[in-house]
A and B are shown apart, each in its own frame.
Chain A
Amino acid sequence: MDTPQWTNGPVLSGRGLTKHYGSQYALAGIDIDIMAGDAVAIVGPSGSGKTSLLHVLAGILRADAGTIHLAGQRIDHLGEKKRSELRRTEFGFVFQSGMLVAELSAEENVALPSLLAGLGRKESIEAGRQWLARLGLTGKEKRRPGELSGGEAQRVAIARALTHRPKVIFADEPTGALDTRTGRDTMDALLGAAQETGAAVLVVTHDRELAESMPKTVAIRDGLIATRLAA
């Protein structure tokens, strides 16, 4: 198995990734490379293994076999503590329904990763405000998630995912709970902001239209990559 070189290789790379639940294979030996600044859609029918692939690449789940490298460094063998730190510092996450902390305001939700990383209250909140402004949420900083629309909440989640300038953003059905137009706007916001920071974006989606709008698409079926398409 060859080791990717970061200088000119992929920012995130998986080789021979295997994951099974009981006798059922979710991933059956997948190889995948994500380049810096890439925006990749992972599509496939329910149960095909796309969310498992995202979780394995992000270190939320541990693969049964295979290796993962982030910027040339192998990360799949790290312990939970190190992987948590990696997720906190190198990755950003956007989930289907935002998964914002209901008790915190929009700016506090965005500031949360910085605060957890040990940054001061003032700097974290200020950075949060700036991200909210960049995503068009000026004036909504003090609102709680329950007081935001679905699209606004997702943009807060995007701001939260970007605030610590991650190398890779993982988005699991980020538009699943939104109408078509809001979903498109949200994806535009995500991809635009990621482009600004140079982060790669890996999106798991059922939405064919969304997938087609992405520069690259990887289709998964039965735990294996069925097709790779590049725009």
Chain B
Amino acid sequence: MNSLQLALRVLKIDRRTRTSAILTAVGVAVATGLVLLLATLPYATVNREARALWQGENYYSRNSEAPASLMFATTHDYFDGKQLTRVDVALTGGAAASTIKLPPGVPQLPGPGETIVSPALGRLLQANSPAQLGDRFGKPVGALGEDALRYPEQLIALVGHNADAMPETAYPISGFPSGQARPDGLLMLLSWVGIIVLLVPSLVLVASSARLTAARRERRLAAIRLAGATPGQVTNMVAAETTLSAGIGALLGLALSPALFGLATFVPWAGGTWLASDFALPVGLTVFIVLAIPVLVILAGVLGLRRVLKNPLFATGGHTKKPLHWWRLLALPAAGLFFLVAVLTAKDSGGITMVMAGLFLLVGSAAIVGPWVTSAVGGTFVRAWRRPSALLAGRRLRDDPKGAYRASAGIVLAVFAGSMALTLLPTFESMAGGGRSFQDPVLYVDTDAKHAPNLVSQANEALARYGQSEHAVGVGQVYLTKSENGGKYAVRALVMTCADAAKLTRFGFDGLCSGAPGIYAGQPLDPAEYRIAGEYDQAGLPLPPNTPVHVAAYHDSDLSSSLVIDPSIVPAGIVPQRVTVVAPTTDANREIVRTALAGPAAGEEIGSRDQYLFNQQTELGDLRRVTVIGLIAAGILAGCSAAVATAGSVMDRRKTFGALMAAGTPVRVLARALRMEAALPALVATIGAGIVGVLVGVGLFSMVDDRNMGIMLSPWILAPVVLGVGVALLGASVCTPALKRVQAEPLADE
């Protein structure tokens, strides 16, 4: 009988080995599926970007050798908070439409006045009046296919023009942008964090499953060794056993991965969901992952044989475990010190590799410190117990701290990652804000001095046509410059009256406008030191002497370096080169005003602080969503590991528990001891992991906290610890059915 046949025989006749093998296979399947999903994320973003390359948002290779055939411009527009991509094109250089190679999914090149829209934009056009949306584009003449869209619900319009009607930002190209797409850097980083945060609980689940029958298997293998089997033969047997379950698990994970990919397509990222075809992993990498995970599990199984191979006699009987050394505790401060140095270094040099290494060391140090802490907690309970359940739990923790910690290792990592995320996310959220000086609902479009008057008049004509009372105004930008330490110091100033500034900006000039026109600033300045220029690199003219300076208490600190200057103060000869056309809006007419600006703006992006903040919230929402999904997945995996470890703990001691229950010990007493056994190390370890997670979050944030804003802690920071202990208890609650099963079994069955 060879090793494989022996493994099959054992699986066939031993129910518990079968259960262990099935759970191991499930654990490997989950791990394989998750790694396949996480590994495919960067590729998914590449596939997305490859479809959207023609949209030209990330296209920089404009100096093509080939003659220009198209004028091309890409901008963003917005409708009802949703971003809309607008691609303006016009034939140039005498090129014919038939000579332009169309990107996949683009049915035709729109002529002047024509537009090709995505299906989602088409639906919006049908549902809203032309004043709200349709008038921003030409006549819709076709629909873009899925192959031309970044994500299925993308709002995009390909707008055709004559070359002379193209926006100022348009540039000549020889054909639609194409080339090599790049992965989304943030999602790539998150996928690596996800692999660590989710893979470890998956492998803990595998390890817990494998441990279910470890004692029994160890006895069997030791008996085989004592009967004369060589270490090689025993190793082969274990490898065969593990290969069966891990191999089947890996194939199961591969088979289930399309379902996981399918679920992932529903998770929005960067504004939209995904196509199923985005989640395509190269065959080589797929094969590597499907082979590597079971190989790791098999290696772990074979390495776990050391004791049987070295001394089978000890494996058949009891043995004394060595106490854990206190120096294990040093692993955490050592890793913490490394992380701290890495963070401080990275703040100066900007390198992130050492910080990631420090993070990895901190995660790794938990595996060294955790068992010692578990043992220490057990020791405390052994000394101070009042109830038998506390004594039983304390002794178990003291006797097998590594085994007891294993059950909560996944939870510890999930709590660490959760605490870190909940330290960073509220802080990032508190940092949200900023943006331009204009009030949130004010729409603005940047242009130059040459186009500004035309844009203002056309926009006001459109506003009048749409029956709106609002008016667009041009706000010029000038620079106040002075010499400082041998260099040039410049501050931007908006040229507008105090009354307009009070109405359109968020400086907060209430009560300031009654005085003589002058400069309005957040802090005092001496006009005699400054010159005024229409452009940053112009020499400019001195400010008129005795220019009044009104100091306002700005509402937002991020505006502190911005100024307002009354038009009457600007000397003749100073012409602002950059002009921002602004128009106030209400919730009711915002899209109409945007449409009124969009026409004359001819492809220039129309912004608002509302939209700026909305985009920030979309990004934060993406982060929140993936964090929550990741933590839920990690929590479920960790809970499963805890449940399997608890079931294993009951199985290991089924004879003792069976006898105790036969002698009248209530199941609830034993269940309480087992729950305590699971919850005690989880409680201590999760509190520790929570604290370390917060500290690491603070460290990571300090790297980007240039404004010394400090960390923003919310009460939710406690949630991972509470959830961690809850998950540990929930996982451990499996002990009650396990004990009842033992109770129902004949006492002598073994």
Contacts and interface: CB of A to CB of B under 8 A. Distances in A.
Interface string B391-428: 11001100100000000000000000000000000000
B388 A112 contact: yes
B385 interface: yes
Interface stretch (B49-57, B191-199, B580-588, B653-661): B653-661
Contacts of A104: 391-392, 395
B399 A88 contact: no
B396 to A, nearest CB: 5
Contact of A99 (B387, B392, B655): B655
A168 to B, nearest CB: 12
A174 B578 CA distance: 99
A229 interface: no
Contacts of A146: 318
B388 A88 contact: no
Given A86-B664, A95-B747, A101 B656 contact: yes
A116 interface: yes
B233 to A, nearest CB: 29
Nearest to B659: A99
Interface majority SS on A: helix, strand, loop or mixed? helix
A88 B653 contact: no
A88 B395 contact: no
B386 A121 contact: yes
Q: Contact residue range for chain A? A: 20 to 34
A68 B207 CA distance: 47
Contacts of B653: 102
A84 B663 CA distance: 7
B390 to A, nearest CB: 10
Contacts of A85: 664
A87 B663 contact: yes
A121 B655 CA distance: 25
A108 B665 CA distance: 15
Nearest to B396: A103
A88 B391 contact: no
B179 interface: no
Contact of B664 (A84, A101, A103, A172): A84
A58 interface: yes
A115 interface: yes
A84 B666 contact: yes
A102 B395 CA distance: 9
A131 interface: no
A94 to B, nearest CB: 10
A113 interface: yes
A93 to B, nearest CB: 4
A82 B399 CA distance: 34
Given A102-B656, A104-B395, A146-B318, A115 B388 contact: yes
Interface in A46-64: 51, 55, 58, 60
A23 B600 CA distance: 93
Given A84-B664, A112-B388, A51 B748 contact: yes
Contact of A88 (B318, B396, B665): B665
Given A103-B399, A115-B387, A60 B662 contact: yes
B669 interface: yes
B659 A116 contact: no
A121 B392 contact: no
Contacts of A130: none
B53 to A, nearest CB: 65
B748 to A, nearest CB: 7
Contacts of A103: 392, 395-396, 399
Interface string B635-665: 0000000000000000001011011111111
Nearest to A61: B746
Interface in A89-122: 89, 91-93, 95-96, 99-104, 108, 112-113, 115-116, 121
B571 to A, nearest CB: 90
A101 B660 contact: yes
A225 B4 CA distance: 49
Given A51-B748, A99-B655, A102-B653, A87 B664 contact: yes
A96 B662 CA distance: 13
A88 to B, nearest CB: 3
Contacts of A96: 748
B740 to A, nearest CB: 10
B662 A87 contact: yes
A161 B664 CA distance: 11
Contacts of B396: 103
A53 to B, nearest CB: 14
Given A86-B664, A87-B662, A91-B664, A121 B656 contact: no
A99 B656 contact: yes
A81 B399 CA distance: 31
A73 B699 CA distance: 71
Contacts of A86: 664
A116 B386 contact: no
Contacts of B747: 55, 60, 95, 172
A108 to B, nearest CB: 7
Nearest to A104: B395
A209 to B, nearest CB: 22
A78 B392 CA distance: 29
Contacts of B388: 112, 115-116
A81 B669 CA distance: 12
Contacts of A113: 663-664
A16 B258 CA distance: 62
A68 B446 CA distance: 96
A146 B320 CA distance: 9
A22 to B, nearest CB: 14
Nearest to A108: B391
Contacts of B656: 99-102
Interface string B215-231: 00000000000000000
A103 B662 CA distance: 19
Interface in A121-157: 121, 146
Nearest to B319: A146
A93 B665 CA distance: 12
Interface in A31-47: none
Contacts of A58: 662
Nearest to A89: B664
A126 B378 CA distance: 23
A121 B399 CA distance: 21
8 nearest A-B pairs in the assembled complex, by CB-CB distance:
A88-B664, A87-B664, A99-B659, A103-B395, A146-B318, A115-B388, A93-B663, A84-B664
Given A96-B748, A103-B399, 11 more contacts: A55-B747, A84-B664, A99-B658, A101-B660, A102-B318, A102-B653, A103-B395, A104-B395, A112-B660, A116-B669, A121-B386
20 contacts: A58-B662, A60-B747, A88-B663, A88-B666, A93-B662, A95-B747, A99-B656, A99-B658, A100-B656, A101-B656, A102-B653, A103-B392, A104-B391, A104-B392, A112-B665, A116-B388, A116-B665, A116-B666, A116-B669, A172-B747
